[in-house]
């Protein structure tokens, strides 16, 4: 059984982009593979976080994992900070990473652009991400386009370790769905939908109320003209909305085009909102039950114990091979 490892940062609210690009796939993967899904709270602090907000967002995202269909009896769901091996192997991988490799990371360039100073963690966190993956010798890594560069670094570090200290790590492979891996912003289809965007109208959060969802969709930017046609090059805004529609209504892009032929954007956006609401409302109800019961803390403890059993063994073997005295 292949191993799968993935996680999402506890910064901001999860969006439908996170749901389409990650959570839906997590639920499918747990049926086929040995899965480890974490909330990467240590990655979140690479930029300043309000303590109360960090706690709330961490519990919220973990609860949404379960509400969306992750089963703690099929997959290990845990917090990154609860498995101490992540931090320790993260440091070890940092010592194996070259400065030039980190300087080439486009995410660092994007997040540091225009800022007078940035924390060193923002620069080095790809090494921690590599450690996250390598701790579990994961075979498949669900990633979006913006994370492929980090996965390549992970593969390079695994290869570098193997060459210096003997074969130990497998080469992780990316897992990407064909459509919807990169859902774009509702107000600018050239930018990825982001849960940390300051403009709430640019994304639909998984916990948005139905009327909020309807209002955001009605105001979503569309291309000139009125034809509902999938053409990312010439009609990026409508193509993005069609990708979202395809996932929530489980219809092909061709079926969506046929359904709205000659109707224009109005009926299309209105029915898209209802499809999203129909999927999210049961998740929101389950989420409220999980939060009110406090069950998430037992789930996270169970998941961390399961993850630590594997991670600690990996870390121990790494330290032995590198020459550390272990106990």
64/286 Cα distance (integer angstroms): 9
85/266 Cα distance (integer angstroms): 52
86/188 Cα distance (integer angstroms): 36
* Vertex 242 angle, CA 238 and 248, to 5°: 145
Among 11, 12, 13, which Cα is nearest to 205's? 13
* Burial tier of 234 (Cβ tally within 10 Å: 0-12, 13-18, 19+): exposed
| Catalytic residue (choose from 74, 109, 191, 192) | 192
* Burial tier of 38 (Cβ tally within 10 Å: 0-12, 13-18, 19+): buried
| Catalytic residue (choose from 2, 74, 111, 319) | 111
Q: What's the first-to-final CA gap in the chain, in angstroms? A: 31
Residues paired with residue 6 on neighbouring β-strands, in sequence order: 37
| Catalytic residue (choose from 195, 216, 235, 269) | 195
Please state, in angstroms and as integers, the Cα–Cα distance from residue 292 to each residue in 68, 206, 286, 289, following that order: 16, 18, 10, 5
Residues 6+ apart with CB under 8 A from 302: 72, 76
Active site residue 301: no
327/316 Cα distance (integer angstroms): 9
Active site residue 192: yes
Half-sphere exposure of residue 103, counting CA atoms within 13 Å on the CB side? 3
Please state, in angstroms and as integers, the Cα–Cα distance from residue 188 to each residue in 182, 222, 232, 235, 291, following that order: 13, 9, 13, 12, 33
Sign of the CA dihedral with 102 first, then 107, 109, and 112 last: negative
Backbone φ and ψ of 96, nearest 5°: -95, -5
Catalytically active residues are 111, 192, 195
């Amino acid at each position: 059984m292949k191993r799968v490892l993935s996680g999402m940062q506890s910064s901001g609210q999860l969006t439908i982009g996170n749901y389409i690009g990650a959570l839906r796939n997590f639920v499918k993967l747990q049926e086929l593979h040995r899965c480890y899904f974490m909330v990467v709270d240590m990655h979140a602090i690479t930029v300043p976080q309000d303590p109360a907000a960090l706690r709330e967002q961490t519990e919220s995202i973990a609860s949404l994992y379960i509400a969306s269909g992750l089963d703690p009896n099929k997959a290990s769901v845990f917090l990154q900070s609860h498995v101490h091996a992540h931090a320790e192997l993260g440091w070890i991988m940092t010592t194996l990473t070259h400065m030039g490799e980190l300087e080439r990371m486009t995410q660092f360039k994007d997040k540091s652009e225009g800022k007078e100073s940035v924390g060193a963690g923002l620069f080095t966190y790809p090494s921690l991400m590599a450690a996250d993956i390598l701790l579990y010798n994961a075979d498949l890594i669900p990633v979006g386009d913006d994370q492929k560069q980090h996965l390549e670094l992970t593969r390079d570090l695994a290869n570098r370790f193997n060459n210096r200290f003997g074969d130990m790590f497998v080469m992780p492979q990316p897992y990407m769905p064909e459509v919807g891996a990169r859902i774009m912003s509702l107000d600018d289809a050239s930018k990825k939908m982001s849960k940390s965007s300051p403009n709430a109208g640019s994304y639909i959060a998984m916990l948005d109320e139905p009327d909020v969802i309807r209002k955001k969709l009605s105001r979503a930017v569309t291309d000139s003209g009125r034809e509902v046609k999938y053409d990312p090059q010439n009609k990026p805004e409508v193509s993005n909305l069609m990708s979202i529609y395809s996932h929530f209504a489980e219809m092909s892009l061709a079926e969506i085009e046929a359904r709205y032929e000659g109707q224009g954007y109005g009926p299309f956006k209105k029915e898209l909102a209802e499809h999203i609401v129909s999927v999210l409302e049961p998740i929101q109800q389950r989420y409220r039950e999980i939060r009110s019961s406090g069950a998430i803390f037992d789930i996270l403890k169970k998941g961390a114990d399961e993850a630590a059993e594997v991670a600690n063994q990996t870390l121990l073997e790494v330290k032995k091979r590198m020459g550390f005295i272990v106990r």
